[in-house]
Chains A and B, each alone.
Chain A
Amino acid sequence: MPSSLASDYDPASLPDLLPLYYRRLFPFSQYFRWLNYGGVHKNYFMNREFSFTLKDDIYVRYQSFTTQNEMEKEMQKMNPYKIDIGAVYSHKPNQHNTVKSGTFQALEKELVFDIDMTDYDDVRSCCSAADICSKCWPLMTIAIRILDRALRDDFGFQHLLWVYSGRRGVHCWVCDEAARKLSVAARSAVAEYLSLVKGGDETVKKVVLTDPIHPLIRESLAVVEHYFDQYAIQDQDILGRKESIDKVLALTPEDILFTDFQSEKKPGNRWELVKKQASRKQATAKKGQHFEKEIMLQYCYPRLDVNVSKGVNHLLKSPFSVHPKTGRISVPMDLKELDTFDPFAVPTISLICAELDRPRTGEEEEKMEESQDKENEKDAAERRKIRDYKRTSLAKYVKHLDQFLDGMARSWKGELLKKSDLQKEF
């Protein structure tokens, strides 16, 4: 495979690759289709803030574009190292200096969540800071499962776009209309409802459960239980070494002594001991003895950056932006394949650019013909771009975004139908 070599990304090559990426690979049409939201509100795309990070960390805020075409041209001109998406404002963001101060206001934005592996440093033993590996990645899987369920079942949101950030975390974009319109207070209430792990470096016990245990916590525990043995006991080996055992036992009540702990060699059995002690304690005490659950949650429950979710005008890295350090593309994730998602298999910009230079296979030629027939109303350049990304490993991620957008389109079509029905009646 020629691609294995090409995937070795060198940050120094980024300035050379970005023009190619924005000219031939970036999925502008899907991107526009997403942020235009069916054109229901006509200024929605125009008043959206984009912010670019250019070479040498030069930061340009308040970019905005009238059309898809203008956006393409601008991105191809600036070749941003990183793209952030901000709020939909009351006016075009690139004219924010021309309107009377104070009238320029952030009105709407997707409800977003940012989960970052650095926030788990006290409970993972394999890596720290910006590093991740296959041993700690399940934390993200668990986080997505828990939050996805809660946002859908509890809050009734339907259009959740999960995106790998390109390095050490995941983002969630809740795109439902109701979510986009939420106030700052509502966003912070949602984020706090979903936050269980509380306290900084000065707090040892970060999860404290009280009776009754809320359905959210029960549902979340079910998810954690599913992964806990493999992730925490096996991979992270939290009951393997003295140091990490002490950390776990510091979370149990003082009056419980684990005398037989050292004689038990297998970590799995040690966890059974903890659970046994917990159920014994629960049988005798009246209330509030859930330390085994608290341990599981402290080690696995998603840790949100609440400030990102709260602010309507907070910027968040855009899907399909490149991560300048790793070169990986920030790609939408398909939850049907979540358990097998491998962040290291996400294509880098050097890989997909190299794939473009690969000679075409016969099969691909055929597909190309087909798509040409179907979409002959589009102009040639557009067609070529579609062809281009389809020949790279980016294809499946763009396809996933397409499916996501189809789902959203169905819902707003339904809305429109309902509206017109109502009109007919009267």
Chain B
Amino acid sequence: MQFGSRRKKLNTDIQTELYGHPLQFYGQPPLENISLTEFETFAVERLKLLKTIENLGVSYVKQSEQYSQKLQSEIKNLNFPYRPEADDRKIQTGPTEYEKRRKDHISHFILRLAYCQTEDLRRWFIQQEVDLFRYRFNHLHPTQKLEFLHKNSLQYDTVSAEEKVILKDKLVNSSYAVSGITVEGQDFYKVPFQDALDLVRTRKVYLKAGYVYIPHQDIVTIVLNDFRTRLSKALALTARSLPAVHSDERLQPLLNHLSHAYVGQDYSIQKNVGKISLEQIDSLSVKSFPLCMRQLHQSLRENHHLRHGGRMQYGLFLKGIGLSLEQAMQFWRSEFVKGKVDADKFDKAYAYSIRHMFGKEGKRTDYTPYSCIKVILSNAPSQGDHHGCPFRHSDPELLKQKLQVYKVSPSGISQILELVKGMHYQLACQKYFELTHNIEDSNFSLSHPNQYFVESQRILSGGKDIKREMDTPKRSQENSAAKGSNTTHEAAANPSQDLADMTDEQIDSFFQDA
């Protein structure tokens, strides 16, 4: 009895310590008992928050005014800590700051359990958590930032005054935020370039002999890198202890359900396999393909060839709309042999990758069609490529010409270009959908090229497809159940296998961890 109360007191101490600062590195797991209801609410709400972060990251420039505003209101709505200066002494309605911090802490650890199972899930979770952390760190008061660094014993080497004088010009030219006047008064940190990859990648920092020179206001990058590394390690550890958690029959279904929530419909299972004939593809590409796929189809017909990125993006899309492996093989072969590739070379060099797409080679993953986010963010096209998102990866001028050719009205074109300018690529595509299907409001939120196709077919068939719509929920249930067993199986079979197939998949290493 006494022991119990002492332990409780100890817990409270740790918590006061933990929740004393608005932000934490999540080094200590929560130790208290919570009810299942609370467990579920916390998890679902954090997941909502992370989903919002993902969506905002696609629609807005991270750290822009709008991004921050939208994110802040979401954090506020879901009762997560959002105001670093919040003070419990003031009377306020709703949960106290302490409760919010506790929720932040506990919900983070619950999602760790749900998102440690596969490489894909981990990558997604880390990316969203890192974005959330960035937002929150950036909105700390300068003294709170220092306090945070101090509390977590993060120390970085500063650049001496003499060195700053020597490198002044270079430092000024390497960062938007540094000017000749501010160099002297500002601290610069010198760390190995591996610790600030985001700044290196975007060329926003001065780099010399393997070290980056980071101005003080960019210190968030190093802190984030630290956070990312810790989280990645922690997730790997969590994955190992997962069997113990899974033995709890109350938690397992809940965790599985949570981990599937992030992808949404992935268009991998199609009932209509084989219902599309190869002859239909040309006309379908005009009527029902999103612009990215129409573009790929057109260049395939013109050049009788597509490079790897294009084959993956288009091939998986076709698989998603219902082409069987045999059809796909016939489709690609008949087109390629019209060009420079003879049948023999096709069988040697390309047939494997098509079977691979259908999960018949290599590690036998049944690959899912690419979502808009994947198309927009990963593997940008380079010389000779036709893949990617036309709204994201085309010159506005070329896009305009293309839309004119496709008979989009001038006012429609300018609406689309306006959306593109604001970096709302998915919205631009949706506008294109509405314009080409003559509807006012499309009533869905576009996030997947295959979704575009399905919606288009639905409209073109004049609502005859209602029956299919009716049984969609059932299908998606089956879907997630099937996937549930899939993922656990994959996790057991070892997720690191992904690494070996990296080149096949062309996984984008954007979110890949050190």
Q: CA A178 – CA B211 in complex, angstroms?
A: 13
Which of B82-90, B369-377, B462-470, B503-511 sits within the interface? B503-511
B151 interfacial by beta-carbon distance below 8 Å: no
A313 interfacial by beta-carbon distance below 8 Å: yes
Cβ of B383 and Cβ of A188 under 8 Å apart? no
Closest Cβ–Cβ distance, residue A217 to chain B (whole Å): 8
Chain B residues with CB under 8 A of A188 = 201, 509-510, 512
Cβ of B382 and Cβ of A198 under 8 Å apart? yes
Closest Cβ–Cβ distance, residue B15 to chain A (whole Å): 34
Chain B residues with CB under 8 A of A311 = 502-503
Closest Cβ–Cβ distance, residue A58 to chain B (whole Å): 9
Chain B residues with CB under 8 A of A307 = 379, 503, 506
Chain B residues with CB under 8 A of A100 = 494
Q: CA A118 – CA B295 in complex, angstroms?
A: 22
A362 interfacial by beta-carbon distance below 8 Å: no
Chain B residues numbered 453-504 whose CB sits less than 8 Å from any CB in chain A: 493-497, 499-500, 502-503
A101 interfacial by beta-carbon distance below 8 Å: yes
Cβ of A183 and Cβ of B514 under 8 Å apart? yes
Chain B residues numbered 98-125 whose CB sits less than 8 Å from any CB in chain A: none
Most interface-central of A101, A121, A122, A186 (chain B CB within 10 A) = A186
A68 interfacial by beta-carbon distance below 8 Å: no
A104 interfacial by beta-carbon distance below 8 Å: yes
Q: CA A100 – CA B494 in complex, angstroms?
A: 10
Cβ of B380 and Cβ of A198 under 8 Å apart? yes
Cβ of A156 and Cβ of B502 under 8 Å apart? no
Residue of B nearest to A217 (CB): B203
Cβ of B502 and Cβ of A184 under 8 Å apart? yes
With contacts A118-B384, A200-B383 taken as known, whether A103 is within 8 angstroms of B494 at the C-beta atoms is yes
Which of A39-47, A189-197, A255-263, A332-340 sits within the interface? A189-197
Residue of B nearest to A305 (CB): B382
Q: CA A214 – CA B208 in complex, angstroms?
A: 12
Cβ of A204 and Cβ of B383 under 8 Å apart? no
Cβ of B381 and Cβ of A215 under 8 Å apart? no
Cβ of A202 and Cβ of B200 under 8 Å apart? no
Chain B residues with CB under 8 A of A212 = 172-176
A293 interfacial by beta-carbon distance below 8 Å: no
Cβ of A185 and Cβ of B512 under 8 Å apart? yes
Residue of A nearest to B193 (CB): A155
Closest Cβ–Cβ distance, residue A339 to chain B (whole Å): 26
Cβ of B210 and Cβ of A106 under 8 Å apart? no
Which of B41-49, B73-81, B387-395 sits within the interface? B387-395
- Selected from A121, A187, A193, the residue in CB contact (under 8 A) with B203 is A193
Chain A residues numbered 199-214 whose CB sits less than 8 Å from any CB in chain B: 199-205, 212-214
Chain A residues with CB under 8 A of B194 = 182-183, 186
Chain A residues with CB under 8 A of B503 = 307, 311, 313-314
Chain B residues numbered 392-449 whose CB sits less than 8 Å from any CB in chain A: 393-395, 397-399
- Selected from A101, A105, A218, A303, the residue in CB contact (under 8 A) with B383 is A303
- Selected from B174, B209, B386, B390, the residue in CB contact (under 8 A) with A156 is B209
With contacts A307-B503, A310-B509, A313-B500 taken as known, whether A201 is within 8 angstroms of B386 at the C-beta atoms is yes
Chain A residues with CB under 8 A of B379 = 307
Closest Cβ–Cβ distance, residue B240 to chain A (whole Å): 13
B361 interfacial by beta-carbon distance below 8 Å: no
Q: CA A310 – CA B506 in complex, angstroms?
A: 10
Instruction: Please give the number of chain B residues whose Cβ is less than 8 angstroms from any Cβ of chain A in the complex.
Output: 56
A123-145 Cβ-contact flags toward B at 8 Å (1 or 0): 00000000000000000000000
Chain B residues with CB under 8 A of A185 = 197, 509, 512-514
B385 interfacial by beta-carbon distance below 8 Å: yes
A28 interfacial by beta-carbon distance below 8 Å: no
A235 interfacial by beta-carbon distance below 8 Å: no
Cβ of A201 and Cβ of B397 under 8 Å apart? no
B348 interfacial by beta-carbon distance below 8 Å: yes
Cβ of A102 and Cβ of B493 under 8 Å apart? yes
With contacts A104-B500, A121-B383 taken as known, whether A153 is within 8 angstroms of B209 at the C-beta atoms is yes
Closest Cβ–Cβ distance, residue B505 to chain A (whole Å): 10
B206 interfacial by beta-carbon distance below 8 Å: yes
Chain A residues with CB under 8 A of B381 = 199-202
B246 interfacial by beta-carbon distance below 8 Å: no
A70 interfacial by beta-carbon distance below 8 Å: no
Q: CA A21 – CA B514 in complex, angstroms?
A: 42
A377-389 Cβ-contact flags toward B at 8 Å (1 or 0): 0000000000000
Q: CA A197 – CA B510 in complex, angstroms?
A: 19
Most interface-central of B387, B496, B500 (chain A CB within 10 A) = B500
Cβ of A202 and Cβ of B502 under 8 Å apart? no
Q: CA A188 – CA B495 in complex, angstroms?
A: 21
Chain B residues numbered 341-364 whose CB sits less than 8 Å from any CB in chain A: 348-349
- Selected from A105, A201, A303, the residue in CB contact (under 8 A) with B500 is A105
B211-246 Cβ-contact flags toward A at 8 Å (1 or 0): 100000000000000000000000000000000000
Closest Cβ–Cβ distance, residue A1 to chain B (whole Å): 37
Q: CA A196 – CA B172 in complex, angstroms?
A: 20
A425 interfacial by beta-carbon distance below 8 Å: no
With contacts A153-B209, A183-B514 taken as known, whether A204 is within 8 angstroms of B398 at the C-beta atoms is yes
- Selected from B203, B394, B397, B499, the residue in CB contact (under 8 A) with A214 is B203
Chain B residues with CB under 8 A of A296 = none
Q: CA A306 – CA B175 in complex, angstroms?
A: 24
Cβ of A119 and Cβ of B514 under 8 Å apart? no
A8 interfacial by beta-carbon distance below 8 Å: no
Most interface-central of A103, A153, A189, A217 (chain B CB within 10 A) = A189
- Selected from B174, B395, B500, the residue in CB contact (under 8 A) with A203 is B395
Cβ of B497 and Cβ of A102 under 8 Å apart? yes
Chain B residues with CB under 8 A of A197 = 382-383
Cβ of A101 and Cβ of B206 under 8 Å apart? no
Cβ of A201 and Cβ of B173 under 8 Å apart? no
With contacts A185-B513, A189-B197, A314-B503 taken as known, whether A203 is within 8 angstroms of B393 at the C-beta atoms is yes
Cβ of B200 and Cβ of A193 under 8 Å apart? yes
Cβ of A156 and Cβ of B173 under 8 Å apart? no
Closest Cβ–Cβ distance, residue B405 to chain A (whole Å): 13
Residue of A nearest to B169 (CB): A215
Cβ of B201 and Cβ of A102 under 8 Å apart? no
A17 interfacial by beta-carbon distance below 8 Å: no
Residue of B nearest to A308 (CB): B503
Chain B residues with CB under 8 A of A214 = 173-174, 203
Chain A residues numbered 139-169 whose CB sits less than 8 Å from any CB in chain B: 153-157
B182-214 Cβ-contact flags toward A at 8 Å (1 or 0): 000000000001100110111100111111000
Closest Cβ–Cβ distance, residue B347 to chain A (whole Å): 10
Chain B residues with CB under 8 A of A310 = 509
Cβ of B385 and Cβ of A200 under 8 Å apart? yes
Q: CA A109 – CA B395 in complex, angstroms?
A: 37
Chain A residues with CB under 8 A of B211 = 156
Chain B residues with CB under 8 A of A102 = 493-497
CB<8 Å pairs between A and B, sample of 29: A106-B499, A118-B383, A153-B209, A154-B208, A154-B209, A155-B193, A156-B209, A178-B210, A183-B512, A183-B513, A183-B514, A185-B509, A186-B514, A192-B202, A193-B200, A193-B203, A199-B381, A200-B383, A200-B388, A202-B386, A202-B399, A203-B393, A213-B173, A214-B203, A215-B173, A215-B174, A216-B203, A217-B203, A307-B379
9 closest A-B pairs by beta carbon, nearest first, are A102-B494, A156-B210, A200-B381, A156-B209, A200-B385, A189-B197, A202-B394, A189-B201, A212-B173
